A and B are shown apart, each in its own frame.
Chain A
């Protein structure tokens, strides 16, 4: 176990080392300043503005116009992606001759990729052509990530502004985020992964005559270019059905750590960018600390629980302790090259951020190990969270914490010198509550109706309940990982994906949850940004509650845990906790 803790500690140390340089770099990008890549991408940037017909310097947008541009942009991409997916049979680079998936599955998939979720009812290698993966889905991995970051940047500008209305220009933000942040890092990441064995080609599937005389068909495709942005943009949708557990997506212990690094660097560094843009690094580190405490706690719990093994294994007479040359632990649904520590770490990192890529099977986690993804999602993806979305959600919690703290000590609540009034706190409360409410409503509906329980693999058991709850937790929080027994798409393995059909209820409910739990909070966040932008900044005095010290970090943690626990504790008891405390089999 000691070696496992060493891996985990070194990984976190490397991430922390990147936070400052990348944070400073992104602050420059968001402020429109010159960076070292300007000579490379500057012409493309200016050309794009001309093509789009925008003059960013002259066209600052208030929150409503910023939101309008964002909604128009996302809606048009929704339509474009739907068309690409539904015309798959006509498009090129389709060596397996896959037909388009049915309308209901497509509705779910499109909503999922537009919202940075990448929840997948389909298996990539038995459903999608290379064209669809590249031109359809991978593009959304960039775009939805850029939208999330843009909303954060607008909120930060609102917090930092001194009595003005403009939150910046949406089009400029998206273009600069894509060109200077996401594309260069994804490009380098893709080449590193491809050099290590993540495939990158447009060949047909390989038919292999194996060493002992059998036949094995190996899926191929442009995987590395999609893999890098899948992680960097906290998207998580696998090219292959088994995602980052499949060796062509994640071939070694080294690529595994590269993938986790790609997941965390942007969300972690954005806390530094935040501190820089509001003019106080301590504020950024305070938020970072609150996030880091929860992430490390989740990682350790998952590691210890998975090392223990499961009731089913122990009752079968298997010894799960470490032996010489074996880690022991719950290796069901895990890969030898990752073992227990790197699987537990990946699990915590991918669910704390809203990534949802997996390198092991969540459905096979131990009860308590499985409670970690539940808790991370139950906290509404604020533990680093999605790129942009994690921090903007956390800032809503920070404002809520200031408000509650202010009530407790009888002071007017202020955040960064801005008085928090009734309008702001109403918007914040709506922004914080809309996602958990969506989850509980949708999961309740799905668990209680025959149309919903058709999707279950594990039937009416605690495991089946976990499948349902996690499905809607994951979609509402835009994570995308799954207790994979829960299905909305029945796919017999036959040529061209013939005979496949969707479970309409799961697809539609999921699609509506995805869209509303992404875009409603975004609108509330932008409204908060607009309300705060117009406020004066009052100087800090003796009566000001500080938001950059350990007391505030503690208060913030308390609020996050309280809201998450009050909302989800009863539901989580019925699933993973029952499984963790019982040695009964179902």
Chain B
């Protein structure tokens, strides 16, 4: 029969030992192995352009103006160090106004370069907030619409822009899980390489 005093002693030793083993040893060993085997991935999958790091392949950025493909709308101004959900409910007036404004802005930006574009063609991802605020991808439909504008502004043949989109498209996991998407940062870097802005 163990008394309470002995239980407390056992518990205290267990708490300290487990904290050292699982709180320090385990994460530091995982860090060590990851830093040796996959340093790129473990440090944020950074990508470079023109000899300098311009972002992470995994983290979306804000792109403005007509010469770039635009990321999905973000509630966090594309923050990578203070993330939160937009928390727009399914029946909220605010949600309706957000979508209305985003839809109008999207048509205004892209319709001059694609006369046949209507509301019905606009894919949902283009006018709704992503969850993370930094979704690195857009849908293929979204990229295809923006391609008209980007090709015209950069003076590239549409077929070449289509090819760049295909090269920046990331498939499903194991070919099955999730959805394919076009990586916006990769695509814009490829654009800068193909037809730099003056």
Contacts and interface: CB of A to CB of B under 8 A. Distances in A.
Does chain A bind chain B? yes
B62 to A, nearest CB: 6
B152 to A, nearest CB: 19
Interface stretch (B109-117, B139-147, B153-161): B139-147
B178 to A, nearest CB: 2
A52 interface: yes
A415 B176 CA distance: 43
Contacts of B65: 212
Contacts of B177: 7, 10-11, 253-254, 256-257, 342
A195 B134 CA distance: 21
Interface in A306-348: 309-313, 315-320, 323-339, 341-342
A178 B67 CA distance: 54
A241 interface: yes
Contact of A323 (B64, B141, B192): B141
A224 B96 contact: no
A336 B181 contact: yes
Given A212-B63, A222-B31, A224-B42, A80 B26 contact: no
Nearest to B100: A316
B35 A201 contact: yes
B96 A312 contact: yes
Nearest to B89: A463
Contacts, number: 402
Interface string B54-96: 1111110111110010001000001111111111111111011
A526 interface: no
B108 interface: no
A191 interface: yes
B91 A310 contact: yes
B163 interface: no
Interface in A60-74: 65, 68-69, 72-73
A2 interface: no
Contact of A582 (B26, B91, B185): B91
Interface string B158-175: 000000000000101110
A423 interface: no
Contact of A311 (B44, B90, B174): B90
A455 interface: no
Nearest to B165: A325
B119 to A, nearest CB: 6
A39 interface: no
- Most chain A beta-carbon contacts within 10 A, residue among B85, B123, B131: B131
B91 A143 contact: no
Contact of A484 (B41, B80, B84): B84
Contact of A333 (B88, B141, B172): B88
A316 B91 contact: no
B178 A318 contact: no
A255 B57 CA distance: 15
- Most chain A beta-carbon contacts within 10 A, residue among B56, B61, B68: B56
A337 B181 contact: yes
A214 B63 CA distance: 9
A586 interface: yes
Contact of A210 (B9, B54, B72, B133): B54
B171 to A, nearest CB: 8
B92 to A, nearest CB: 6
A248 B192 CA distance: 26
B13 interface: yes
Given A6-B176, A194-B30, A194-B34, A126 B81 contact: yes
A339 B123 CA distance: 12
A226 B193 CA distance: 38
Contact of B132 (A247, A328, A342): A247
A195 B189 contact: no
B54 A208 contact: yes
A466 B7 CA distance: 43
Given A76-B15, A318-B99, A253 B179 contact: yes
Contacts of B11: 69, 72-73, 75-76
B129 interface: yes
Nearest to B39: A201
Given A318-B103, A586-B91, A211 B189 contact: yes
A405 interface: no
Contacts of A334: 128, 130-131
- Most chain B beta-carbon contacts within 10 A, residue among A226, A241, A462: A241
14 contacts: A7-B176, A65-B2, A183-B22, A211-B188, A212-B61, A212-B63, A217-B80, A246-B134, A312-B92, A327-B139, A333-B88, A335-B132, A338-B179, A584-B91
Interface of A: 6-7, 10-11, 48, 51-54, 59, 65, 68-69, 72-73, 75-77, 80, 123, 125-126, 134-136, 138-139, 142-143, 171, 174, 178, 183, 186-187, 190-191, 194-203, 205-206, 208-212, 214, 216-220, 222, 224-226, 240-242, 245-248, 251-257, 309-313, 315-320, 323-339, 341-342, 359-361, 363-367, 370, 457-458, 462-463, 483-485, 493, 579, 582-586
Q: Which 3 pairs of residues, A with B, have the shortest CB-CB distance?
A: A253-B178, A254-B173, A253-B173
